[in-house]
Chains A and B, each alone.
Chain A
Amino acid sequence: MWPIAKQTLKAAIRYRFVVAMAVALLVIVFGIPLLVKSDGTAKGTVQIVLTYTLGSTTALLGIASLWMGCGTLAREIEDNVMQMVAVKPVARWRVWLGKWLGIMLLNAALLLPTGLAIFFLINARADSDELNLAEKAKLQNEVLVSRSSVREPKPDFTLSRQRAYDYSKLVEQGKSDNRYTPAEQALRMSVTQPEHVLSLRSDYTRLIEQNENAPSGELMQQIEELEHQALQVSKGSREIVLPGQVRNWFFQIDSSKVDRINENPIYLRFKFNAGDEYDPKSHLCNWSVGAGTGKRWPPDREFDEMTIGSSVFHELKLELKDGIIPNKGENRGLVKVSFANFNDKPILFLMDDGPMILYHDGGFGMNLFRGLLIIFFWLGLISAIGLMASSFLSFPVATFMSLGILLISSSTGTLEQIIDEGGITGINHETGRKDESSILDGVAIFIARGAVKITKSIWGYSPVDSLSEGRTITWATLFWAFFAIIVVMGGLVMAIGVYMFHHKELALPNPTASMN
């Protein structure tokens, strides 16, 4: 395997592919900082430079990996050079993996120096005399840092029809608290919020019973509609803050880290939507952190008021002497965050967007290293896809197919829309729901869910965003990225590629002819 890997690397060097890539990467690393325009702040400049340089590096190396993956195998098959290798005592799977290893060596040889160049360039910029102390401190605390995040646990929105029915029947009985049997009590404790919402709809149990006695599509549609509404209401109650309302979030920080975390400022990161265009000074936001404890921010008043815009992420620095996280008693590590909506319209906090607490967790260098490793895993998968396609297709067709796979897998919008709309047939725009689901919709949803799950397991990691926001890419994240991208998806792609290559007749008169 090793001689094949070295050979692949040597080919890239001899054909001056490495030189061309190195020049392109140099242009990216040193050229982009000269070209990009930021908001004028040091933090904004560094963030945008990081985003563009890392993003461009990933894109360039991704294309290069795809090209190499498709070219190294397909061209050798087409030029018949592979025949000379295949008649030697090397198993085909070793040849395939050797090729992959060679491309990965090339990627490592290009990515590592690029990462180092970015690191030193960014640090040089952060140490520049042009920046004042406050800007430098902001950079060190908010970008050139590794900050972990804590979110509120996601509520359980699963909906079991049987449990919802049983619970609704129990509620209908109107028992007092002390008269429930242990089984009924267990049911009460296990019920989710959507099921609880359904219990408030008296027609739900009636519809289910009618459907059991005389099943009909219309009844089922009504039941599903009620369940859908219950789900929306539940989500809405967690995400929407109506005018004049106060919403609380609770963040439990690892109590063993509290003292260390309190040595540095912590940050509240959030984003809200208000159904309007972004306007930097459009909404009043009133925040209070640590209410009810001796570690309250702001220290002198109930809420800190700010006027900011919707639809973008904001970070609020929470700084108190001796830290803000309670470090004593039963509230150790528990941070309560309150938001009061003093606007004249509802504010929406999507669960996926936070809010979250960010705290200092390490240095930028190691975080960058972990981020580069995730990019490296992506490159590994991309090159495996290229190799897989070229195991049975000619070079241009393999390239086209690989590009198609990448484009489809990185654009999940359509797939998510299929899931949201309950299929691929049209929805009723008056109700926003589908009138009737077909088998085709069921199949489409099944495929879309699978595809979205796979896609998110690959591209769900966002090292570039995390690095530019100074957020920690944890070792656990790295491990799971490796597992999902290389072991699971890469393994699957490699298995297909090796199988196809193993069964390929390498001396067919026309390399694209069929196999026996």
Chain B
Amino acid sequence: MNSNETVISAQGLTKVFKDFWGRPKARAVEGIDFEVKRGEVFGLLGPNGSGKSTTVKMLLGLLYPTRGRITVFDHSPRHVQTKARIGYLPEESYLYRYLNSDETVDFFGSLFHIDSKERRERAEQLIEMVGLDNARRRHVGEFSKGMQRRIGLAQALINDPDLIVLDEPTSGLDPIGCREIKDLILTLADRGKTVILSSHLLSDVEDVCDRAMILYGGRVHAMGTMSELLANQDATRITAPTLSRETMDKVLALIRDDTGSDEVRVDNPKQNLESLFLNIVEQARQKESETSGATSGHRVAEYLRVDAAGDRADHVLDHLTRATDEPALGQAPEVTKPTETVDVDKLAGLAKAEPAPQADVAPKKRENLDKANEKLGGLLGD
């Protein structure tokens, strides 16, 4: 398998839902063309009803195209053997409510013909990874939505899939869970896995996707790398260590002279809400105790790791669980330069040409989201 291998190919993909009498009822997807290469994290972005889930379900063989063609690993999505290479997390919890966590993962593992010993080992690692170690014996029907997402994710990874299809993976998850899912996606991508991420949450797509396709009304309205989609050609961002007031004035004067514009902004970097929240929870966990619900995820399942990726994954996930020297609960979190632990890793993989977001004069991370929202808003307004 080479990195240029086409994992998914869709040409003229169209899906029309019909009523009982075969009359067209809704045109969910209209003439979509796209390709996804091995190792890519590919985002399907769009508002509700834009055709994301329909596209996902066609590539899983759960819906059949009305017109056009879609192949997964050069086969029809309905090819049985091909399914052994796919992991799927649906948008809702479509699990057997009367099974507990162990049984759920074990059952879906058995459908991949994984022998029972291997299945048990994987199930154990996966359940620990998704933070349901304390809820192994609880029935899925008793789970909160977030816990159901977690066990759903565990079953999606039981076969160590080459292609992982995640439909709204962070839906219903708390910020810790969202962060873990995103980190896990990056880890899987590092291992050469292909990830399809369908979401209407812009931050999800922005944080982890290499490329994205923006859908509206069943049609593709934009597609490209995140840099291509998010780059603002009308502005320049400069990143530097903290500057003295004098230096700053000189730089600003120089910029103003050069651009002839007063539209130059300077401010201190801010920690985003996600990081702030995670820090607080982490501190709380240092002091607190057990919970019968989901806990923060732990080590990435052994069989999902390779040495390099494993180190990285441990780094990312363990960051959430290990004791650190961060402020204790109750103290005001220090709002200074953001720690680079996650963002640098992430940005190194996602936006090679983009400067790190913590620079003083750089647009804040939020700006990118705002721009993406603006773009999407523009599309919606069309």
Q: Name A residues whose Cβ lies closer than 8 Å to a Cβ of B.
A: 3, 7, 10-11, 14-15, 79-81, 83-91, 505-509, 512-516
Contact = CB atoms under 8 A, between A and B. Distances in A.
Given A84-B88, A514-B21, 16 more contacts: A10-B99, A80-B92, A81-B94, A84-B94, A84-B95, A84-B155, A86-B61, A88-B108, A89-B83, A89-B84, A505-B63, A507-B63, A509-B17, A509-B26, A514-B22, A515-B64
A489 B130 CA distance: 48
B277 interface: no
A10 B83 contact: no
B177 to A, nearest CB: 20
Given A80-B92, A512-B20, A88 B111 contact: yes
Nearest to A15: B98
A11 B92 contact: no
A3 B90 contact: no
Given A87-B88, A88-B112, A11 B62 contact: no
A514 B99 CA distance: 32
Given A91-B80, A505-B62, A516-B64, A83 B20 contact: no
B62 A86 contact: yes
B98 A79 contact: no
18 contacts: A3-B110, A10-B103, A79-B94, A81-B94, A84-B88, A86-B62, A87-B61, A87-B83, A87-B88, A88-B108, A90-B80, A90-B83, A91-B80, A507-B60, A507-B62, A514-B18, A514-B22, A515-B64
Q: Is the interface of B mostly helix, strand, loop or mixed?
A: loop
Instruction: Report which residue of A11, A88, A515 has the largest number of chain B beta carbons within 10 angstroms of its beta carbon.
Output: A88
Contacts of A15: 98
B241 to A, nearest CB: 50
B98 A10 contact: yes
Interface of B: 16-22, 25-26, 57, 60-64, 66, 80-84, 86, 88, 90, 92, 94-96, 98-99, 103, 107-108, 110-113, 155
Given A507-B63, A513-B20, A516-B18, A89 B95 contact: no
A509 B94 CA distance: 14
Given A7-B96, A7-B107, A507-B63, A89 B80 contact: yes
B91 to A, nearest CB: 10
Contact of A81 (B18, B19, B80, B95): B95
Contacts of A507: 57, 60, 62-63
A15 B89 CA distance: 26
A86 B98 CA distance: 19
A87 B17 contact: no
A468 B103 CA distance: 45
B360 to A, nearest CB: 48
Q: Is the interface of A mostly helix, strand, loop or mixed?
A: loop
A91 B50 CA distance: 30
Nearest to B85: A89
Contacts of A514: 18-22
A505 B64 contact: yes
B351 to A, nearest CB: 32
Nearest to B110: A3
Instruction: Report which residue of A506, A508, A513, A516 has the largest number of chain B beta carbons within 10 angstroms of its beta carbon.
Output: A516
A85 B113 CA distance: 13
A513 B95 contact: no
Contacts of A87: 60-62, 83, 86, 88
B20 A11 contact: no
A513 B80 contact: no
B66 A516 contact: yes
A506 B80 contact: no
A20 to B, nearest CB: 15
Contacts of B62: 83, 86-87, 505-507
Contacts of A515: 64
Contact of A513 (B18, B82, B84, B98): B18
A417 B155 CA distance: 58
Contacts of A91: 80
A85 B60 CA distance: 11
A91 B80 CA distance: 6
A9 B90 CA distance: 25
Contacts of A7: 96, 107
Given A84-B90, A507-B57, A90 B111 contact: yes
A196 to B, nearest CB: 59
Nearest to A505: B63
Contact of A89 (B17, B60, B94, B111): B111
Instruction: Report which residue of A3, A10, A515 has the largest number of chain B beta carbons within 10 angstroms of its beta carbon.
Output: A3
A88 B94 contact: no
Contacts of A509: 17, 26
Nearest to B21: A514
Nearest to A11: B98
A499 to B, nearest CB: 14
A393 to B, nearest CB: 12
B48 to A, nearest CB: 13
A516 B26 CA distance: 13
A81 B88 CA distance: 12
Contact of A3 (B19, B88, B111): B111
Contacts of B57: 83, 507
A81 B96 contact: yes
Nearest to B56: A507
A515 B64 CA distance: 9
Nearest to B86: A87
Nearest to A84: B94
A505 B54 CA distance: 12
Contacts of A512: 20
Contacts of B112: 88-89
A84 B17 contact: no
Contacts of A83: 57, 60, 62, 90, 94
Given A89-B80, A89-B83, A84 B108 contact: yes
B94 A80 contact: yes
Contacts of B21: 514
Contacts of A513: 17-20, 25
